[in-house]
Amino acid sequence: MSGIWQDNFSSVAKNNRPSPIREMLAVIKQPGMISFAGGMPAPEVFPVDQFYEGAHILKDQGKELLQYGTTEGYPPLKDFLAAWTAPRLGRKAGPEEMLITTGSQQALDLFAWSMIDKGDYVITEDPSYLAALTVFFNHGGSFLGVPTDRNGMQVDLLPGIIEKARSEGKKIKFIYTIVNFHNPGGSTMSVERRKKLVEISKQYNIPIFEDDPYGYVRYEGDHLPSIFSFHDQGGVIYAGSFSKILSPGTRVGWVTGPKEIIRNLTVFKQGTDLCSSTITQALVAEYCVNGHLDRHLPVIIDNYRVKRDAMEKSFEKHLTPLGVTWVKPEGGFFYWLKFPTVNTNDLFKKAIDKKVAFVPGDPFCPTAGAGIHNARLCYTFPSPEIIEEGVKRLAEAVTELAIP
């Protein structure tokens, strides 16, 4: 590559990887396509009227809300979140222990700025959230993937992985984990493993990034305590988001952790976007303090549980006979399928011909090739009827691929 721009690109830009999911969105827009690909909330449950109700604040406090805000975030929103997340975090975070971010995606980026030097290693579940892998990679990170099962990361394997890596001179900076309703795995880490993970973090002096955008979207069973709540030495930073519980269009997330880390992230945010949108933060705060969020959660959960059940039923009907296996998620947005022989990159092309889309497993896996028989399917966006039709088409694609 050469030319006035290319010759001057950064080394990161020369090597950067576009998100396969974002690239795929173009294909998915084809007419008649059923998409299980993007992790999209259902528009029918967006609380448009209740959100609009709060718009009076633009008249009442417009002069303040049209101004730049502090980088740390809009104080009434932070106050609400500190109280609202206290049961999950085991205590109420102080204002200096929380930063409002532009989606929790920004928290990942700011954290990577704070932690990763080129050549450093990050421990993640294998598979893991694609856009986290991308951010960490862009900051020069490499990965140590830990296999998962229905109870999340197999933390018993961690000491061996850490010791081997260290004996090879690898520098491990942090453990990145999605403990609830994993993206893409669908699994939830057991309490026992959460405690074990914290012990390992302390023993090996490796901090943890607990990414929890789906934790409040639980369909059955009790909420489990966060990893944050178990770590008495402040070794965990916890990220949450309004994207899956209210609206991703607001681009409002937050991150809670020890003051010094939050301060570091805040300084990086100063150089990234100065502050998150003041207007949006104020609208979200108004919505929440009026009690709408707590009333809205059961509505989302009911809607998504029906869709999860529809997908489960369709899988049993169409995919069990083909030897496909999966873990039923107790919450969140995703199923992670395992096909006995099919390469899901090939299946993707066949499925697109049949007008059904999913995300092949490969890009989610830090270990090359670990996901070639897997696929991620999101069930929250389509209706139960469309889910049945889409799974039927997927099964046809599998059959045709096996018997061309």
List residues near ligand PMP by CB under 6 A: 39, 103-105, 129, 178, 183, 211, 213, 241, 243, 248, 253
CB of 54 to ligand PMP, least distance (A): 20
Report helix angle 20-28 to 130-138, nearest 10.
Answer: 130
Q: How far is the CB of 90 from ligand PMP (least distance, A)?
A: 21
- For residues 243 and 277, which CB has a smaller minimum distance to ligand PMP in the complex? 243
- 106: amino acid identity, one letter: Q
CB nearer to ligand PMP: pick between 275 and 395: 275
CB of 245 to ligand PMP, least distance (A): 10
SS3 271: coil
Which of 145/342 has CB closer to ligand PMP? Answer: 145
* CA 388/CA 186 separation, integer angstroms: 19
Helix (H), strand (E) at residue 254: strand 253-256
Structure tokens at 83: 């109280």
CB atoms under 10 Å from CB of 308, counted, come to 26
Tokens representing 71 are 């980088």
CB atoms within 10 A of CB 44: 9
What Rg, from alpha-carbon coordinates, does the chain have?
Answer: 21
Percent of the chain that is helix, strand, coil (3-state, to 5): 50, 15, 35
Contacts of 148 (CB under 8 A, 6+ apart): 125, 126, 127, 154, 182, 185, 187
How far apart, in Å, are the Cα atoms of 84 and each of 88, 110, 204, 240?
Answer: 8, 24, 32, 12
Own/partner contacts of 10-15, CB < 8 Å, gap of 24 or more, are 12/138, 12/140
CB of residue 108 vs ligand PMP: minimum separation in angstroms? 7
Q: Which residues pair with 356 in a beta bridge?
A: 34
Of 235 and 248, which has the nearer Cβ to ligand PMP? 248
Other C-beta atoms lying within 10 Å of the C-beta of residue 334: 24
Which tokens hold the place of 137? 């990679």
Smallest distance from ligand PMP to CB 103, Å: 3
How many helices (H) does the chain have, and how many strands (E)? 16, 13
In the complex, minimum distance from the CB of residue 129 to ligand PMP, in angstroms, rounded to a whole number: 4
Q: Is 90 exposed, middle or buried, given 0-12, 13-18 or 19+ CB atoms closer than 10 A?
A: middle
CA distance 111 to 403: 48
C-beta of 17: minimal distance to ligand PMP in Å? Answer: 17
Which helix (H) or strand (E) covers residue 334, if one does? strand 334-338
**Least distance from C-beta 248 to ligand PMP, angstroms?**
5
Q: What is the token pair recorded at 390?
A: 């889409």
